[in-house]
Structure 1
């Protein structure tokens, strides 16, 4: 199952249809034939990403059957394109020796992704089948924090001493087994980082020039303890293709390339999207039991929210009894506040992720959101208050609804900005924690404001 010219043609714009036809044909074949050679030929020439797409759309039984029958031809890169839950399911089809054999063909950063996804303790069993040097290397890498530069980097890196000439570096590059590189890095005698040279520069230079003469010195190196968010920000800010990772003594220990950063960005976007819904990770391929248990915490927060709302309504029960028409209008203020708050929170979370929001512009951003909420709250408060007046022919009802909408939307703008900022300052995840806090406060405050204003207006 090597990559080749038979790969599906993406330029035709019919990828989904072609893959659907492939999936149907594969299912029919798995049900009706046990000819492994024909199955291998069916998969031959497809990219690992395409094979992963086919595998993940098969039923569980078909998936297991397909992987088991393709064991001898299985490309480890396929695992990188599967979701974590499916990745574990597929790796469980292999015994430890088989799994270690296919992982040894991956680049170090990719192999590390698979190893980290294995069940606790299982990666040590896999590493026993690795050569001793490789086993020690991965054991050390697994101790690095996962979401830092040291956990993200690729260890296969081209490093040359500064006194080498261009022809020496070119000869080494021709004979080395480094799988993919965009820059080479120059170091001193103590392996401390000095600069970098783009591959295009080698083509333009004289072979007798020394690397210290042609290298770029003003190159951004990444400390090994930097978090992934800082790395992606730096790549975006300086439009990098690759960057060296250095230890505390400025020695090069690895390199991070743009494909690694793109994977981090994709994972972060997916994670934040899931967190806004109160889900820690995608459960699309999980079992019913695990999916159900994973969503319970969010539903429990919702239960607490509605109980608090019920207590607020019960407290002002006399107001509703006195003016029963208010019951129809009660949800409006809470709904407007919730939507307004989520707009502000989404913008704040996005700005925090991209580092657009920081201590330099925090007050300005807060003031802008307060101004927007005040304007929108006044606009919708006036409009909804006018509709309430036309409906009930009572100016007091209009004042209650208009005031509740205005003040709840104002609070929603403030909370939608401050909650993500405060949670981020406390090293929490604003995408996961802001939603429940915001929803609870805007709902409770929306009902409380509406009923409280009703009590004041109709009892005075």
Structure 2
């Protein structure tokens, strides 16, 4: 069966393969053609997201050439599907008047997300080309704190007085440009939020029904200063499609829709995944120099880890000379602690992100992780200790390895649970507690425990 998505035909292949073929054709065209007419034909009918996918797979010079050819018909929605670094690269190819022109076609929340990528001088120049009323509006919105409901919402929202009839609301929507909507919001004479009507309910109502009679009052409104993680939790908890944003006087100032929330969730998941590897953000499209500098700070933590571990080993150097067989077993305790810590931290980070872990159950969760670490540490400590005894025929070596594995895994369980909780309490990103930071403590503690036990057992 043939399936088409505007300019793409999927009848003979999967989506990725079809897009890959399109990219190859585009690259050949950019190398050999000197006019944009063939390019126009190639991308005709494609969605903005599909064009963004093609652009991000081009080389920098090819991408520049492609965008310059597309300038006269460039769809601003393409910018929304590009990574932040690529978005800035593409935006820099437009002068301020051109940028202002294409941004006028976007919804307010999308315009703001692009303006925030610009420095103060450039976004001020861009706003100067907007109509005065819109310019003042965006300047005010840019003052709102980021990562809050006020910065995530879109201002295009359908609001009707409670004394209106359904027919009046319908006539209003027919007469004026209507934004995309999932709910109609009902307010009193002072614009204070009263309730909402779902779109599916609204189209079934009788024309003479009053909005106040058919609206739902038990609706979850979002205060404008709520953090985005609270918003995503509320959408998930109540399975919302959209929700109004209200100010301190309960007046509606905007609406947040599920596509905005999904984008926040996707960005957060990507950010946490990067933090697990000690990277602040994806550097896939950045230059070598910027990528190197961005990764260097976390590599320095690894250097500190290695230096501290070396100092611990040097401090107990005489123990290793006395019983050289310990050198073979030394990395085992640190490795077991590191893996155990990552397991505990991963569970804690996810539980914090989904609001399953909070102050009410934090002690119970910590006790559970300690119990799990103690059980697994005891089991593996006995097993590895027995293996060490069979290998070296020395009960003291078995006690050293078994004890070090037990205590380091116990510490790893505590650290892997507490670090994310403490960092979250300090309004930081819990994902930063994993990777190099957690590994540093388990490595140093693991080697210190192993060699300290060795010193105690073999010397006294």
Same fold (TM over 0.5): yes
- Residue in structure 1 matched with residue 373 of structure 2 by the alignment: 373
Q: In the TM superposition, what whole-angstrom CA distance separates every residue of 1:383-414 from its partner, at most 9, and x where no partner exists?
A: 11122112212111111111100100001001
Secondary structure at 2:120's aligned position in 1?
coil
Aligned: 1:360 with 2:322: no
Paired residue for 1:191? Answer: 191
Distance 2:157 2:73 in 1: 29
1:239-254 equivalence runs, <5 A: 239-254=239-254
Q: Which residue matches 2:302?
A: 302
Q: Which residue of 2 aligns with 1:177?
A: 177
Report the Cα offset of residue 435 of structure 1.
Answer: 3.6
Question: Partners of 1:34 and 1:67 in 2: how far apart?
Answer: 14
Q: Residues 326 and 397 of structure 1 are in contact (CA less than 8 Å); yes or no, is this contact kept in structure 2?
A: yes
Cα deviation for residue 166 of structure 1 reads 0.6
* 1:118 counterpart residue number: 118
Equivalent residue, structure 1, for 2:329: 329
Task: Specify whether residues 301 and 157 from structure 1 end up closer, same or farther in structure 2 by C-alpha distance, changes over 3 A only.
Answer: same
The aligned counterpart of 2:201 is 201
How many Å separate the matches in 1 of 2:14 and 2:217?
Answer: 47
Secondary structure of 1:181's aligned partner: coil
Corresponding position of 1:83: 83
Distance 1:317 1:9 in 2: 68
User: Where does residue 317 of structure 1 map in the other structure?
Assistant: 317
CA shift for structure 1 position 68: 0.4
Q: Is the 8 A contact 2:224 2:246 kept in 1?
A: yes
Counterpart of 1:427 in structure 2 is 427
* Offset, 1:10: 6.0
> 2-side partners of 1:176 and 1:105: how far apart?
16
Question: What is the CA distance between 1:154 and its match in structure 2?
Answer: 0.5
- The change in CA–CA distance for 1:417 and 1:10 in structure 2 (over 3 A counts) is farther
Work out whether residues 423 and 434 of structure 1, in 8 Å CA contact, stay in contact via their aligned partners in 2: no
Compute the displacement of 1:203 (Å): 2.1
For residues 382 and 9 of structure 2, the distance between their equivalents in structure 1, rounded to whole angstroms, comes to 56
Alignment of 1:22-61 (within 5 A): 22-61=22-61
CA shift in 2, pair 1:216/1:140, >3 Å: same
The CA RMSD over aligned residues, in Å, is 1.3
1:153 aligns with 2:153: yes
- Structure 1, 10-19 or 442-451: larger mean CA deviation: 10-19
The question of whether the paired residues in 1 share the 8 Å contact of 2:374 and 2:406 is answered with yes
Alignment of 1:396-411 (within 5 A): 396-411=396-411
Distance 1:394 1:331 in 2: 19
CA deviations over 1:122-155 (Å, ceiling 9, x no partner)? 1111111111111111111111112000000000
SS in structure 1 at match of 2:194:
strand
Q: Post-superposition shift, 1:320? A: 0.1
TM superposition shift of 1:175: 2.5
For normalisation by structure 1, the TM-score amounts to: 0.97
Deviations 1:328-376 (A, max 9, x none): 1111111110110011011101111110101111111111111111111
CA displacement 1:163-189 (0-9 Å, x = unmatched): 000100111122332331000100000
The structural deviation recorded for 1:434 is 4.3
For residues 168 and 62 of structure 1, do their structure 2 counterparts lie closer, same or farther at Cα, with a shift above 3 Å needed? same
1:122-141 paired onto structure 2 within 5 Å: 122-141=122-141
- 8 A Cα contact 2:336 2:409, kept in partner: yes
CA shift digits 1:404-448 (9 cap, x unpaired):
001000010011101111111111111124444321111111000
Q: Which runs of 4+ in 1 moved over 2 A?
A: 4-13, 433-437
**Corresponding residue of 1:389:** 389
- Compare 18-27 and 245-254 and name the one that shifted more: 18-27
Q: Is the 8 A contact 2:157 2:254 kept in 1?
A: yes
| Aligned match of 1:264 | 264
Which residue of structure 1 lines up, in the alignment, with residue 70 of structure 2?
A: 70
* Cα distance, 1:325 vs structure 2: 1.0
Q: Does 1:293 align with 2:293?
A: yes
Matched, 1:455 2:444: no
Relative distance call for 1:193 and 1:298 in structure 2 (3 A) is same
1:92 equivalent in structure 2:
92
Counterparts of 2:356 and 2:178, CA distance in 1 = 36
Secondary structure (helix, strand or coil) at the match of 1:245 reads: strand
> Displacement of 1:35 after TM fit?
2.6
Of stretches 238-247 and 22-31 in structure 1, the one that deviates more from structure 2 is 22-31
User: Structure 1 residues 212-221 or 304-313, which shifts more?
Assistant: 304-313
User: Please, which runs of 5 or more residues in structure 2 have no aligned partner?
Assistant: none
Could you tell me which runs of 5 or more consecutive residues in structure 1 were left unpaired when the two chains were aligned: none
- In the aligned structure 2, how far is the partner of 1:11 from the partner of 1:432? 44
Shift of 1:12: 6.8
Write the distance in 1 (CA, Å) between the matches of 2:10 and 2:234.
31
Superimposed CA distance per residue, residues 274-329 of structure 1 (whole angstroms, 9 cap, x where no aligned partner): 11111110000011111111111101111111111111111100000000111111
User: Counterpart of 1:141 in 2: which secondary structure?
Assistant: helix
Change (3 A) 1:5 1:312: closer
